[in-house]
């Protein structure tokens, strides 16, 4: 009877996730992953080229989903702005929604990315992600200003500081393994604290 390759691959992925969550990238070993999956190191290499490829396979689908959500969000906001949507609709969807829709369903992968990625190309993810969002935010402010909103002038350094504080606050309840009820409560608290400031920056009263 032929082996179910898809089942075998899923077993390998689970073993990889468990190893990285427990030990982090740098301390994880191919031999230990193989033992978890019930196969030899040589067998693992039929699935992934090396340890780095294994880690990438865990976190890069999540990163792609986050980027895709951001692109959809930005495009939708531009279309709504062009169509003259009221402010309560224009600013109804926020980054918190992306956390709930994209990150929470992939919580383990997010924890790998945020806390277990030392020694990989993703180890500075929070800094890189802030810089990426910083560019998007500055473009959004420019676009709002063109549409007549009295936006505030912010330097890149100021915006970087504010985004770092906001994203860190948003991510804290997730990486500390709080249950869903607590995560939802704390995200609401973060939103209530930061949103008035963001609206003021964007010229929305």
pLDDT tens for each residue of 57-86: 999 999 999 999 999 998 888 888 888 888
Higher pLDDT, 2 or 57: 57
Asked if 123 and 86 touch (Cβ cutoff 8 Å), the reply is no
d(Cα 111, Cα 122) in Å, to the nearest integer? 12
Compute the CA torsion angle 16, 20, 22, 24 (nearest 10 deg): 160
Could you tell me the pTM of the whole model?
0.90
Q: CB-hemisphere CA count at 13 Å for 147?
A: 22
Q: Which residue has the tokens 């420019």?
A: 142
Dihedral of the alpha carbons of 106, 108, 111, 115, in degrees to the nearest 10: -150
Tokens for 198? 């963001």
Choose between 1 and 47: higher pLDDT.
47
Which residue from 105, 99, 109 is spatially nearest to 172, judged by alpha carbons?
99
Name the CA radius of gyration of the chain, rounded: 20
pLDDT confidence of residue 1: 35
CB atoms inside a 10 Å sphere around CB 145: 15
Cα separation, 112 vs 149, whole angstroms: 40
pLDDT band at 7 (very low <50, low <70, confident <90, very high): low
């Amino acid at each position: 009877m032929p082996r179910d390759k898809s089942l075998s691959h899923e077993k390998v992925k689970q073993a990889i996730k468990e190893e990285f969550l427990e030990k982090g990238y740098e301390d994880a070993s191919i031999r230990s992953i193989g033992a978890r999956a019930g196969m030899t190191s040589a067998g693992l290499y039929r699935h992934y080229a090396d340890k780095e490829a294994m880690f990438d396979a865990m976190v890069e689908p999540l990163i792609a989903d986050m980027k895709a959500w951001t692109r959809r969000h930005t495009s939708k906001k531009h279309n709504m702005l062009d169509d003259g949507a009221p402010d309560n609709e224009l600013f109804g969807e926020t980054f918190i929604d992306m956390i709930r829709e994209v990150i929470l369903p992939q919580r383990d992968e997010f924890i790998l990315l945020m806390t277990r990625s030392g020694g990989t190309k993703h180890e500075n993810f929070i800094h890189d992600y802030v810089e990426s969002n910083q560019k998007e935010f500055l473009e959004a402010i420019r676009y709002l200003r063109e549409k007549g909103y009295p936006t505030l002038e912010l330097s890149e350094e100021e915006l970087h500081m504010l985004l770092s504080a906001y994203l860190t606050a948003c991510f804290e309840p997730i990486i500390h393994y709080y249950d869903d009820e607590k995560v939802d409560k704390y995200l609401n608290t973060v939103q209530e604290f930061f949103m008035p400031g963001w609206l003021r920056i964007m010229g929305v009263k």
